[in-house]
Structure formats: C-alpha cells, structure tokens
C-alpha cells in the first residue's frame, strides 16, 4: 500500500494497492458452517483500517480464484490462476467527466488450459451499477471439468473444448447483454468408461450425447447458444426461447461466431429504457 504520488499534482491524496499472489476460495459444503461465500466478510473494513485513503489504483499479481466442493465424491476444484489485473481511477482523482471513468483489465488461466480475459469500464461513484463488461473464457478442455459435471449434471465428457463470451452493460439499475456458449468437438457418451456406472447414468448420458450430436453445426463440429439476458438487479430475466432459437440457428443456418459481437454499451441500455 502506498500513496499514488503523481496524483498529488492534481490535488488528490489517494492510494495505490498491490496484491501479490492473493487467493480467494469459495467453498460449497453440506451446511453453512462448512461453506464459504465471502458474504458478510468485512475485508474492506480491514483494508480501511490499514490504509485510510481512497484507493485509486489496484493491482493484482499472480492471483487465484477457486470454487471447491469438498463434500462431493471426488473433491471438486474449479479455478482460475495466474490472474493479473489492474484497476485504475477508482476514486476519479482527476475528476474526469466521462460516464465510465474507471477501468479494469484482467487475464488468467483456467483449469484445462483455458484463457480468461476481462475488460470492464465502470463508474464506481454511481449508487446504481454503471458499467460495460466484455469478458471471455476460451479453449477450456472440458474433460478437466468432469468432477464438476458428474456431481452437478450427472454427465461425463469424453472430449470437448468450451468457450464463453459475454458483453453486458448496466445503467440506473437496469442491464442488457448476452452470453455466448460454444462447445467444439464434443463427445458426451464414451462406451469404454461406462462399465462402472449404473443404468440410469448410462441412459442419461446416451440421451444427452444424442441431443448434442443432433444440434451440432457439423461443418464446424460446434454446439452453441447465444443467451440474451436483461432486466434489473432485482428482477433478472433470461430469454430462454431466444437461447433455444440460437441453438437451432447455429445447427442448421449459420454457425455462431466465437467472439464478442456485438459490443453492448450503456447507450444501448438507455435506448431500451
């Protein structure tokens, strides 16, 4: 923690915080005592007691975020590591007139050798969340998620790569955007791994594998959906039928592009309102 000296020339006494190898763990347990969500944890109060200045710049070097379920048959650990992030102008020390005066850029590595990227523009001073978010996870090997998939979806993947893209904007408590989910080279049902499973698991995986194969874009070997999301933070809405339509469009008309397109802006949300 240090004073951001160059901001003194602009009449502001603000701070710079750098975190070296921070680690955040979310844990799902069978009881609240065995779980850890971070809710009601006064870490901001602790930071304020150590450093009594407004924080204007935050840097994370080589961080990690884990989701764990140690009560599952196979201990589940889904994570992002090698997180490098920089957030700037959090207190708007220079009084920039821009609606989105602060920014955050972050990269990291997921399990399964996937790549994680975030680009966030925001106004931390607004009471209602005001931001534009563009983020992606690309080329995640799904076989590394099998412990998670077996526990929560009763499925096992023989092969497949996952990519997720999202663009989301919010202003005055309302938001609008979408999430693209793309899976390439997917194989759900692998006979050579079925011997130790019960009949119901085998039937469910066979159904899931058949549906996945039926709705693939075969020239690209891609199963994909574009899921529109909108509403307010008190009344979120996921457009399920639009998501189903995008699955059919990807399979039989045109493959969904593996990129953020279009970019959703604050102005788009304001127009809809």
pLDDT digits (tens, 9 = 90+) for 196-245: 555 445 444 444 554 555 556 656 678 888 999 999 888 888 888 787 78
The percentage of residues in the chain with a pLDDT greater than 70, rounded to a whole number, is: 88
3-state DSSP assignment of residue 126: coil
Residues 164 and 216 in one domain: yes
pLDDT at 200: 47
For residues 87 and 179, membership in a common domain is answered with no
Q: What percent of the chain has pLDDT over 90?
A: 42
* Across 51-55, 78-82, 102-106, least confident range: 51-55
Question: Is 163 a domain residue?
Answer: yes
How much is the average pLDDT of 57-71?
Answer: 94
Please give the C-alpha separations between residue 110 and each of 19, 106, 249, in angstroms, as whole numbers.
Answer: 20, 13, 29
Domain boundary among 69, 104, 139: 104
Domain count, the chain: 2
Residue 211 to residue 265: CA distance in whole angstroms: 35
Residue 166 falls inside a structural domain: yes
Compute the average pLDDT of residues 44-57.
82
Same domain membership, residue 100 and residue 132? no
Tell me if 161 sits within 8 A of 197, measured CB to CB: no
pLDDT reported for residue 214: 54
Q: Tell whether 258 and 157 lie within a shared domain.
A: yes
List, in order, residues 6 or more apart from 225 with CB less than 8 Å away.
180, 181, 243, 244, 246, 247, 250, 256
Which residue has better confidence, 73 or 82? 82
Residue 254 sits in which domain range? 128-273
Q: Are residues 27 and 69 in the same domain?
A: yes
The reply to whether 197 and 89 lie within a common domain is no
Residue 19 has pLDDT above 50, yes or no: yes
Is 149 contained in some domain? yes
pLDDT for residue 175 is more than 70: yes
Helix locations, the chain, DSSP H: 43-50, 146-152, 199-214, 240-252, 266-272
Q: Does residue 154 lie within any of the structural domains?
A: yes
Nearest to 57 by CA among 89, 21, 96, 19: 89
Residues 60 and 150 in one domain: no
Residue 178 and residue 262 share a domain:
yes
Q: Cα(6)–Cα(81) distance, rounded to whole angstroms? A: 31
Same domain, 218 and 90: no
Going by pLDDT thresholds of 50, 70 and 90, the confidence category of residue 22 is: very high
User: What does the pLDDT read at residue 215?
Assistant: 56
The Cα 269–Cα 133 span in angstroms is 13
Average pLDDT, the chain: 84
Residue 84 falls within a domain, yes or no?
A: yes
Range 172-189 average pLDDT: 87
């Amino acid at each position: 923690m240090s004073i951001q000296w160059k901001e003194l020339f602009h009449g502001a006494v603000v701070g710079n915080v750098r975190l070296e190898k921070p680690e955040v763990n979310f844990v799902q347990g069978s009881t609240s005592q065995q779980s850890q969500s971070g809710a009601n944890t006064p870490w901001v109060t602790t930071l304020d007691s150590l450093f009594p200045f407004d924080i204007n710049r935050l840097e994370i070097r080589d961080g990690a975020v884990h989701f764990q379920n140690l009560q599952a048959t196979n201990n589940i650990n889904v994570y992002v590591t090698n997180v490098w992030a920089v957030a700037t102008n959090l207190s708007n020390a220079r009084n920039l007139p821009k609606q989105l005066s602060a920014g955050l850029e972050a990269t990291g590595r997921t399990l399964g050798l996937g790549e994680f990227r975030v680009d966030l523009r925001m106004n931390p001073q607004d009471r209602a969340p005001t931001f534009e978010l563009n983020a992606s996870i690309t080329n995640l090997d799904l076989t590394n998620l099998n412990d998670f998939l077996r526990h929560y979806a009763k499925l096992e993947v023989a092969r497949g790569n996952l990519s997720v893209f999202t663009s989301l904007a919010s202003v005055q408590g309302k938001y609008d955007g979408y999430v693209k989910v793309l899976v390439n080279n997917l194989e759900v049902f692998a006979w050579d791994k079925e011997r130790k499973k019960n009949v119901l698991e085998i039937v469910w995986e066979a159904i899931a594998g058949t549906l996945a194969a039926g709705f693939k874009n075969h020239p690209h070997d891609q199963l994909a959906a574009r899921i529109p999301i909108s509403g307010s933070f008190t009344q979120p809405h996921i457009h399920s039928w639009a998501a189903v339509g995008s699955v059919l469009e990807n399979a039989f008309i045109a493959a969904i592009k593996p990129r953020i397109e279009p970019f959703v802006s604050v102005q788009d949300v304001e127009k809809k309102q």
